[in-house]
Amino acid sequence: MIEVNNLIKKFGDFRALDGVNMHVASGNIYGLVGPNGAGKSTLIRHLTGVYRQDAGEIFIDGAPVYENKQVKAQMAYIPDEPFYFLQADTLEMMRYFRGMYESFDEKMFYRLQEFFPGIDMKRNIRRLSKGMQKQVAFWLALCCRPKLLILDEPLDGLDPVMRKQIWTILMSEVAERRTTVLVSSHNLRELEDVCDHVGIMNHGKIIIERSLFDLHGNISKIQVACQTGMPKLPKEFEVLHMSNSGRVYTMIVKGNPREVAAAIQTEGDHLAIVDILPLTLEEIFIYEMGGLGYEVKDILF
């Protein structure tokens, strides 16, 4: 659905995008993470056709996006600060979107009303709270029934109940219609629950792009209780980290969790328990990026 090749954007002498490569397949929910200033919003402004690149290529469903009305008609974009006309209320904005998007689903708009009970549809949107304005942006974007939904820091300013609710609506939409979603966020824990792919940006480049499945399948956290000595592993397994509390050792190892656990078990009869523990996305990145020579605290927080 999205293919970005060697994308470069300069502001003066500064390269905000310094050779971005990115691939998002149709129906994926792709989380874009990275520190302040990494280039996430600049990349998103290229994907939505707001900016024109200095070099490189961007294809959405095989077509270039800049000044391409057909491509833009299939995507909805919620920027970090949604735009509303000065005097417009939600109903007026709905009519505006209905005119803009052939795929706009007005029935859906009224059906979703019950999920946004705090929004008075006839109140000037700019008089609503910031969180409410974000809710309206979601409401309208979903009703456009886009093939591609691009969200820049979408949940900032929303309370936890509304965050959960919006993700639930979004997930059901994705499941039903195979909408592709690109979401930029600083919240890895939240992305972990919803995304199937993640790209990490730093200094204008995507430094890691993986599926969550691959990430979880390539690194293991194993706990071993040893009666004597220390747990051992054959040489082909790289131990990234090991700590212990008494006779209980916790190891982070490169490799598939089941294969690593089986290998530890065959290495000695002094082991009491071998347990595979779940790794959070944050832990995975800490060790993956450590391997690439990056300090995770400089990248993600």
Ligand X SMILES: Nc1ncnc2c1ncn2[C@@H]1O[C@H](COP(=O)(O)OP(=O)(O)OP(=O)(O)O)[C@@H](O)[C@H]1O
Q: Which residues bind ligand X (CB under 6 A)?
A: 11, 16, 34, 36-42
- Angstrom distance (rounded) from CA 27 to CA 105: 20
Query: What is the sign, positive or negative, of the torsion defined by CA atoms of 107, 110, 111, 112?
Result: positive
Nearest distance in Å: CB 170, ligand X: 21
User: At closest approach, how far in Å is the CB of 282 from ligand X?
Assistant: 17
What is the closest distance, in whole angstroms, from the C-beta atom of residue 284 to ligand X in the complex?
21
Task: Kindly tell me which of 60 and 200 has the beta carbon lying closer to ligand X.
Answer: 200
To ligand X, the closest distance from the beta carbon of 200 in angstroms equals 11
CB-based contact 137:155 (threshold 8 Å): no
Residue closer to ligand X (CB basis): 45 or 145 = 45
Q: How far is the CB of 55 from ligand X (least distance, A)?
A: 16
Q: b vs e for 24-61, b when ≥16 Cβ sit within 10 Å of the residue's Cβ?
A: beeebbbbbbbbeebbbbbbbbbbbbebebeebebebb
Q: Distance of CA 192 to CAs 5, 78, 92, 165, Å? A: 26, 20, 36, 16
Instruction: Give strand ranges (E) for the chain.
Output: 2-11, 14-24, 29-33, 55-60, 63-64, 75-78, 148-152, 180-184, 197-202, 205-211, 219-226, 239-245, 248-254, 271-277
CB of 201 to ligand X, least distance (A): 6
**Cβ closest to ligand X, residue 34 vs residue 255:** 34
Q: Residue 55 or residue 91: which is nearer to ligand X going by CB?
A: 55
Question: Which CB, 238 or 295, lies closer to ligand X?
Answer: 295
> 7, 43 in Cβ contact below 8 A?
yes
Is 205 or 247 the residue whose CB approaches ligand X more closely? 205
